[in-house]
A = this chain, B = another copy of it.
Amino acid sequence: MSAKRRAKPVSVESKQQPLREGAPLTRLVARLPPTVPFTGPETLERRSGRTFALRLGANESNFGPSPHAREAMRAAIERIACYADPEVYELRLALARLHGVGIEHIVVGSGIDDLLGLIVRAFVEPGDVVVTAAGAYPTVPFHIAGYGGRQELVRYLDDAGGLRNDLDALAEAANRTNARLVYLANPDNPTGSWYRGDAVRAFLDKLPSGSLLLLDEAYIELAPIDDPSDPGILLPMNPDDPRLLRLRTFSKAYGMAGARVGYAIGRPEVIAAFDRIRLHFGVNLVAQMGALAALEDTDYLRYVAAEVARGREEYAALARELGMIPQPSATNFVAMDVGSSTCARALLAALAEQGVFIRMPGAPPLDRCVRVTVGTPAERAIFADILRKIWPQVTHVADS
């Protein structure tokens, strides 16, 4: 085109000019720390030059996705040249049917991480307070800091009832600070603990007006159902409650962490606000088609939940056998209290030496624990062998 002919040659002067400085970062971003919420296992592998043989640290589902979801994702590859539907309509419709709500109550994002970022962006002005437990999901403080919010941290309960969220203290902190957002994971990560739906409902009723409860239910499909006539962990669905936003994901029970898809359920006014700021073409095609197929395979979901329940019991028995205190869990992992932070760190390192990737929470009192994802029966057998072998050495070194 004619631009070619019009182009002026670069002058020698311009080449010799020193480089100018470019644009400065915003004041907010400039003062953010260069830390990341999680160091990935791949990074640890590159640092150590050693590959993990057992990946039990990220609460992925080693049972994988439903075969139907797998098939749908393979079919999506055939259409991958096309952008996916920016409204994520089919998946939202299926989710609305599943939960007995309207499509206007559902927004889909690239995982709960994406949705958490959008929520903090939509509701937190610089200086506004978000209440979370100290040691809760690290991506929450990452986003709070990223938008200039202020964290109010509440220590986990640590008594005969086990390590768990302190609902009274969380509600007290929210009222004291006039918090905008309150984050609660139920079931909880990294403890695995959980509250019944009626306890969550009572907690919600204690929060200050003008606040929104982010109820992260990433693991809820894995929670035990002792008595089908008892709602148990499930908070009854009132999608128009202006005080509540529920977060769900396909990364855990559905086995699709690598696909990036999660959703929020909330009142239409809040859901509509996402459209003002979300990446409209952000939820990829494989994720959309895979999630839709995964939802239909309820048998597979039940199979995974049953396998995970079996694994939790095995882990609990193993921990007790070795003198650790396994925390009750409604998730696909078990936090094992090994007595001290020193011991937990030593165990983490010793397991890494053996090619086992697990994690430990950083904040006290949780830092007495290591957190182990429920693997397949074969993986659990290998893990048990390794743990039985190295545990005496770890306790010996940690004691000395």
Q: By the criterion CB–CB under 8 Å, are B64 and A70 in contact?
A: no
Instruction: Count the copies.
Output: 2
Q: By the criterion CB–CB under 8 Å, are A61 and B40 in contact?
A: no
Tell me the residues in window 223-281 of chain A with beta carbons closer than 8 Å to chain B beta carbons: 240-244, 251, 255-260, 267, 270, 272-273, 275-277, 279-281
Task: Specify which chain B residues have a CB less than 8 angstroms from the CB of A3 in the assembled complex.
Answer: 161, 164, 193-196, 199
A20 in the interface, Cβ–Cβ < 8 Å?
yes
Stretch with Cβ within 8 A of B (4 or more), from A204-212, A295-303, A342-350, A361-369: A204-212
A1 partner, pick from B22, B43, B85, B164, beta carbons under 8 A = B164
Tell me the residues in window 95-132 of chain A with beta carbons closer than 8 Å to chain B beta carbons: 110-111, 113-114, 117, 121-125
Nearest CB on B from A104, distance (A): 13
Q: Indicate whether A284 sits within 8 Å of B258 (C-beta atoms), given known contacts A1-B194, A195-B7.
A: yes
Stretch with Cβ within 8 A of B (4 or more), from A24-32, A382-390, A392-400: A24-32
A14 partner, pick from B32, B40, B202, beta carbons under 8 A = B202
Q: Indicate whether A20 sits within 8 Å of B209 (C-beta atoms), given known contacts A1-B161, A273-B25, A276-B33.
A: yes
Q: By the criterion CB–CB under 8 Å, are A81 and B110 in contact?
A: no
Q: By the criterion CB–CB under 8 Å, are B80 and A77 in contact?
A: no
A83 partner, pick from B7, B70, B79, B257, beta carbons under 8 A = B257
Q: Mask for A127-143, Cβ within 8 A of B = 1, else 0?
A: 00000000000000000
Nearest CB on B from A23, distance (A): 4
A6 in the interface, Cβ–Cβ < 8 Å?
yes
Q: Indicate whether A259 sits within 8 Å of B279 (C-beta atoms), given known contacts A3-B164, A328-B1.
A: no
- 21 A-B contacts, Cβ less than 8 Å apart? A1-B161, A4-B196, A10-B198, A11-B202, A22-B270, A27-B125, A29-B276, A42-B85, A43-B86, A58-B82, A64-B80, A77-B77, A80-B255, A82-B257, A83-B257, A111-B281, A146-B277, A258-B284, A259-B284, A259-B286, A284-B287
Nearest CB on B from A186, distance (A): 10
Q: By the criterion CB–CB under 8 Å, are A7 and B196 in contact?
A: yes
Nearest CB on B from A289, distance (A): 9
Q: By the criterion CB–CB under 8 Å, are B82 and A55 in contact?
A: yes
Task: Specify which chain B residues have a CB less than 8 angstroms from the CB of A354 in the assembled complex.
Answer: none
Extra inter-chain contacts (14) besides given A6-B161, A23-B180, A80-B257, CB under 8 Å = A1-B193, A7-B198, A21-B242, A22-B211, A22-B267, A42-B85, A42-B89, A43-B87, A70-B80, A79-B258, A81-B257, A82-B257, A111-B282, A114-B282
Task: Specify which chain B residues have a CB less than 8 angstroms from the CB of A123 in the assembled complex.
Answer: 23-26, 29
Task: Specify which chain B residues have a CB less than 8 angstroms from the CB of A281 in the assembled complex.
Answer: 38, 40, 111, 113, 260
Instruction: Report how far A251 CA is from B107 CA in the complex, Å.
Output: 24
A218 in the interface, Cβ–Cβ < 8 Å?
no
A74 in the interface, Cβ–Cβ < 8 Å?
yes
Task: Specify which chain B residues have a CB less than 8 angstroms from the CB of A267 in the assembled complex.
Answer: 22
Tell me the residues in window 1-59 of chain A with beta carbons closer than 8 Å to chain B beta carbons: 1-4, 6-11, 14, 17, 19-27, 29, 32-34, 36-38, 40, 42-43, 46, 55, 58
Instruction: Report how far A279 CA is from B153 CA in the complex, Å.
Output: 23
Of A43, A256, A257, the most chain B CB neighbours within 10 A belong to: A257
A73 in the interface, Cβ–Cβ < 8 Å?
yes
Leading 8 A-B pairs by shortest Cβ distance = A258-B285, A22-B242, A1-B328, A7-B199, A20-B209, A23-B212, A2-B161, A42-B85
Q: Mask for A150-191, Cβ within 8 A of B = 1, else 0?
A: 000000000011101000000000000000110000000000
Instruction: Report how far A201 CA is from B70 CA in the complex, Å.
Output: 47
Give the residue name and chain of the B residue nearest to A256 (CB).
B80
Q: By the criterion CB–CB under 8 Å, are B193 and A32 in contact?
A: no
